[in-house]
Structure 1
Amino acid sequence: MRKWAKEHGLLVANLACFLVFFVGMVLSGAASYSEDQQAHGEPPVSVLQFLGTGAFVEATFENWESEFLQMAMYVVLTVFLFQKGSSESKPVGKKAPQDGDPQQAAVSRATPWPVRRGGAVLKLYENSLSILLFALFLASFALHAAGGVDEYNQDQQSHGQPAITFLQYLGSSRFWFESFQNWQSEFLAVGVLVGASVYLRQKGSPESKPVAEPHYETGA
């Protein structure tokens, strides 16, 4: 068990943090939503009821959407673009292991099945990481819009205004403001990491170059 925990500690720690913060978001969100309901003369909601509201769906997937977009774009951009001196970039002007042709790799029983199979299966596998991230982005994007239109129409109804359709909400300034305010922050954070890793270090982290490495050296 100790060996398994050591080998999977990074994933486990991130999932644990996600669960703690997600539960915190749900509980605080339900309390905030109930306070708003009472301020408008409506009854408060339970935590389970809150999970079915457009407010919860919109807030959750609005954030997930930006995270998956950032990761998907970063995976694809690092295929083609470089930053000299950054630990987040492949070496400039050199062949990186990630660029190797899997069809020329030595095959063993431990080689992933798609590589051994070849053909269209291999081509799909070569891009499977970005495909997954973009698929998660699109799903989150759609759910953000679905939760948003539900919340918007509920607000419209409380003010005696007509409801709008899903497509109308997709074209609204509110929806795009929510999206852009999250997207810009994600790419700012990545840009800071890419640029700062040229000059700054974190001993022991694979996201940093070795502490004594010259600034001009590119890659981890």
Structure 2
Amino acid sequence: MEKNKKIKTGFFYRNSLGIVLLCMMILCLIGQFFTGFNVENKELAEHGQSTLSFNKYFKSGHFIQATFENWESEFLQMVIYVLLTISLRQKGSSESKSLTEPENVDREPQPNPNAPWPVRKGGIYLKIYQHSLSIAFVILFFISFVLHFYGSLKDENTEKLMKNEPLLNWYDYLSESRFWFESLQNWQSEFLAVFSLVVLSIWLREKGSPESKPVDMPHNETP
């Protein structure tokens, strides 16, 4: 008789995916900060302007725009994907719900002692909670969108100062192509990435990954 395998219960094992992803994000953000710091100061020096300290660069339009331009597109991708996968299907994709069978995620929540408190409470709390994931992503997208706009406007006006050109106010800049170009170039890449995952998972596999179908599952079968 085989011995029962000991179940790993350590903190890192239970949270390793989140910890590793957060660490990777922080490392990349630090790298972005220092490389952006060098790029911005090089441009300022070339125009005869005073270079920025770390603290001033952290508050600069250059850093704020670059950071939240990307966060904005990520949160938009997530909220759109979460909402589209409720009703849309892709035959054979590991990312799609079944074409014919009812899904566990579609059943009505039932109060029980172990359920989250909004489920036990019911009423408006439950109505909000059952859409809380998309609501959270919408809020995060809106915050990132506003900060991206603020940083982009601030960076644009910094460039205009160097050229001795009149500064833009927020409502004029909202109709400028630069801001929407920054947003749309990121949005399209995020939708392409999700499309690639949805479609490639029809035919390709990654053993052990929950984002993949079982290796021996037929291409035309939807998990």
Bucket of the pairwise TM-score, normalised by the shorter protein: over 0.9
2:106 and 2:201 map into 1 onto residues whose CA distance is 22
Which consecutive unaligned segments of at least 5 residues does structure 1 have?
A: none
Aligned to 2:89: 82
- Residue 109 of structure 1: how far off its partner (Å): 2.4
1:11 and 1:25 map into 2 onto residues whose CA distance is 21
2:67 and 2:115 map into 1 onto residues whose CA distance is 37
Aligned to 1:60: 67
Aligned to 1:120: 124
Task: Choose from 94, 97, 100 the match for 2:101.
Answer: 94
Aligned to 1:156: 160
2:38 and 2:200 map into 1 onto residues whose CA distance is 39
The reply to whether residue 40 of structure 1 matches residue 47 of structure 2 is: yes
Aligned to 1:212: 216
1:2-22, Cα deviation, whole Å (9 max, x unpaired): 711101000000000011101
SS in 2 for 1:89: coil
- Residue 190 of structure 1: how far off its partner (Å): 0.4
SS in 1 for 2:10: helix
Letter in 2 for 1:70: Q
Letter in 2 for 1:62: E
Aligned to 2:5: none
- Residue 159 of structure 1: how far off its partner (Å): 1.4
Higher-helix-fraction structure: 1
The reply to whether residue 203 of structure 1 matches residue 210 of structure 2 is: no
1:54 and 1:99 map into 2 onto residues whose CA distance is 44
Task: Choose from 135, 160, 180 the match for 2:184.
Answer: 180
Letter in 1 for 2:79: A
Identity percentage of aligned residues: 45
Relative to structure 1, the CA distance from residue 2 to residue 121 in structure 2 (aligned partners, 3 Å threshold; closer, same or farther) is closer
SS in 2 for 1:156: helix
Which consecutive unaligned segments of at least 5 residues does structure 2 have?
A: 1-7
1:147-169, Cα deviation, whole Å (9 max, x unpaired): 11111112112212111111211
Aligned to 1:171: 175
Aligned to 1:28: 35
Task: Choose from 126, 129, 136 the match for 1:132.
Answer: 136
Letter in 2 for 1:206: P
1:101 and 1:6 map into 2 onto residues whose CA distance is 32
CA RMSD of aligned residues (A): 1.2
Aligned to 2:16: 9
Task: Choose from 170, 190, 197 the match for 2:194.
Answer: 190
SS in 1 for 2:147: helix
TM-score, length of structure 1 as denominator length = 0.95
- Residue 216 of structure 1: how far off its partner (Å): 1.5
Confirm or deny: 8 A CA contact 2:49 2:162 kept in the other structure: no
1:56 and 1:96 map into 2 onto residues whose CA distance is 43
Letter in 2 for 1:118: G
TM-score, length of structure 2 as denominator length = 0.94
Aligned to 2:3: none
1:58 and 1:148 map into 2 onto residues whose CA distance is 5
1:122-181, Cα deviation, whole Å (9 max, x unpaired): 010000000000110011011111111111112112212111111211111111111100
- Residue 48 of structure 1: how far off its partner (Å): 1.7
Aligned to 1:147: 151
1:19-78, Cα deviation, whole Å (9 max, x unpaired): 110111111111111111111111222222110101111111000000000011000000
SS in 2 for 1:160: coil
SS in 2 for 1:180: helix
